[in-house]
Structure 1
Amino acid sequence: MTDRVRRVSGGQVVYAELKRRILSLDLPPGRRLFEPELSQQLQVSRTPLREALRLLLAEDLLEQLPTGGMVVRSLSAQEIDELYTVRASLEGLMAGEAAERMTEEAVEALSLLVARNQKLVEFADDAMNAGHDFHLKIAQISAHGWAARLHEQVDGQMARYRAFTNQSQSRRTAALHEHEAILEALIARDSARARHLAETHVLGARDTALAAIGERLP
């Protein structure tokens, strides 16, 4: 951990660091967590560590073992299917709403994000982040409170799977073209088309993630 993180105490800081490691797969699925080891690594006492573990357990990022220990939750094809299907509906709803709320500022902001995506399409992590920012901006423009809150919750759970949708250049290029088409629909204020394209885009990412995760599962 950095010096800044070490200086701050409390379960929330430990929680944030452990969550980062889980979502980035630095703590891989199925990894058994040992409190003494984590306490030493993070340079914290057992009290904030246990608080953090309880929070991660409540978020379904950890699983409780019958013996009382905890493991990082395994990757699941069923979970991918459920998360992406829910997200597709939310993304479609928000894209449709955003199309009706487009302003010159919104057009400029989304166009800059797509341009960034175009420049970074050959780089897996950068392209993934650029595309993710595009979706988050649409959520903001939509101004749909409940959809945005639910989207944030689903988005957090999907972080472990997002990299699987972006591994091949062909998929990154396809995703970029899909973003460009969504942007065109938004600029045209075509709510129905924006909704359809956003849903189709997320379902395409789901299929890619399912194929990728299938190679990792027994």
Structure 2
Amino acid sequence: MTLAEFPSTISRRYLHDEVVARLRDLILSGELEPRSRVNEAALCKRFDISRTPLREAIKLLAAEGLLELLPNRGARVTALSTREVEDVLEVVAALEGAAGELACSHITDTEIAALERMQETMVEAWRAQDAPRYFAFNRQIHEAIMLASRNTALQGVYAMMAGRIQRARYSANKTPEQWVHAIQDHGEMLKFLRARDGLALGALMRRHIRSKLPVITAAFGKAAQERNQGIMVSG
């Protein structure tokens, strides 16, 4: 998604929340790339807002770890090191494991039915080799299980931590074998949800997230290499 595809103005009723959400989307979608500077003038013009709400949003996203504040030089998108990616992924694995355990105690049959439909659509996208659609529904499934935990504190921490690696997590290339394993894991998730087996689902979720580490670190390493090459060429 490009900057031009985002709505041109923001309603004043929920200005703060909307500015935060819009800026976060730009970062997570990759429109604002790691280490890129936040162009306040361009964003203010695009959203038809003053700099005050934008700067408030920048401070909040800096607290989330998505932006890095530069003394007297504005802000730029955070670029994580491989070690930081590993640390964040371990936390995300623990959070999703806890969500899986709690979800089995609270999820409704209606919610499970909705997850089954998401799973069917995700599998169809996988068979069609439609990666963007596959990853979109993959993400929806994980977020639906998190919501089914009914734990707002857990959801809040998860949103902040998962957002830091979201782009690479849901867009990094997978080998055919990794795709097959991911599909199998998602089938097991539904089985454990139907059985309300929280311990089994929690263990599976943790293993499932940790298995993504090679893919995500490779994606971050490639991005870092490309950024460094760009710096060398421009310099």
Q: 1:31 aligns with which of 36, 56, 64?
A: 36
- Unaligned residue ranges in structure 2 (runs of 5+): 226-235
Asked whether the 8 Å contact 1:5–1:13 carries over to 2, the reply is no
Asked whether the 8 Å contact 2:189–2:204 carries over to 1, the reply is yes
Q: Deviations over 1:125-161 (max 9, x none)?
A: 2111211111222223333343233223323333233
Q: 2:143 aligns with which of 136, 139, 143?
A: 136
Q: Aligned in 2, Cα 1:5/1:76: closer, same or farther, shift over 3 Å?
A: same
| Residue-pair matches, total | 218
State the match for 2:113 in structure 1.
108
State the match for 1:54 in structure 2.
59
- By how many angstroms is 1:169 displaced? 4.4
Segment of structure 1 superposing worse, 79-88 or 107-116:
107-116
State the match for 1:69 in structure 2.
74
| In 2: Cα distance, 1:61 partner to 1:27 partner | 11
The one-letter code of the counterpart of 1:144 is: N
Query: Quick check: 1:148 aligned with 2:155?
Result: yes
3-state SS, counterpart of residue 92 of structure 2: helix
- Unaligned residue ranges in structure 1 (runs of 5+): none
Asked whether the 8 Å contact 2:100–2:145 carries over to 1, the reply is yes
| In 2: Cα distance, 1:80 partner to 1:3 partner | 28
Segment of structure 1 superposing worse, 179-188 or 22-31:
179-188
- By how many angstroms is 1:164 displaced? 4.1
- By how many angstroms is 1:91 displaced? 1.4
3-state SS, counterpart of residue 20 of structure 2: helix
| In 2: Cα distance, 1:192 partner to 1:35 partner | 47
TM-score (norm 1): 0.84
Asked whether the 8 Å contact 1:102–1:187 carries over to 2, the reply is no
State the match for 2:230 in structure 1.
none
- By how many angstroms is 1:170 displaced? 3.9
- By how many angstroms is 1:92 displaced? 1.4
| In 2: Cα distance, 1:126 partner to 1:94 partner | 24
Deviation beyond 6 Å, 4+ runs, structure 1 = none
RMSD over aligned CA atoms reads 2.6
Query: Quick check: 1:180 aligned with 2:187?
Result: yes
Query: Quick check: 1:6 aligned with 2:9?
Result: yes
State the match for 2:211 in structure 1.
204
Asked whether the 8 Å contact 1:164–1:213 carries over to 2, the reply is no
Q: Aligned in 2, Cα 1:175/1:27: closer, same or farther, shift over 3 Å?
A: same
State the match for 1:171 in structure 2.
178
Same amino acid, percent of matched pairs = 28
3-state SS, counterpart of residue 71 of structure 1: strand
State the match for 1:78 in structure 2.
83
- By how many angstroms is 1:64 displaced? 1.9
Asked whether the 8 Å contact 2:20–2:57 carries over to 1, the reply is yes
Q: 1:214 aligns with which of 193, 218, 221?
A: 221
- By how many angstroms is 1:30 displaced? 0.9
- By how many angstroms is 1:27 displaced? 0.9
Asked whether the 8 Å contact 2:35–2:79 carries over to 1, the reply is yes
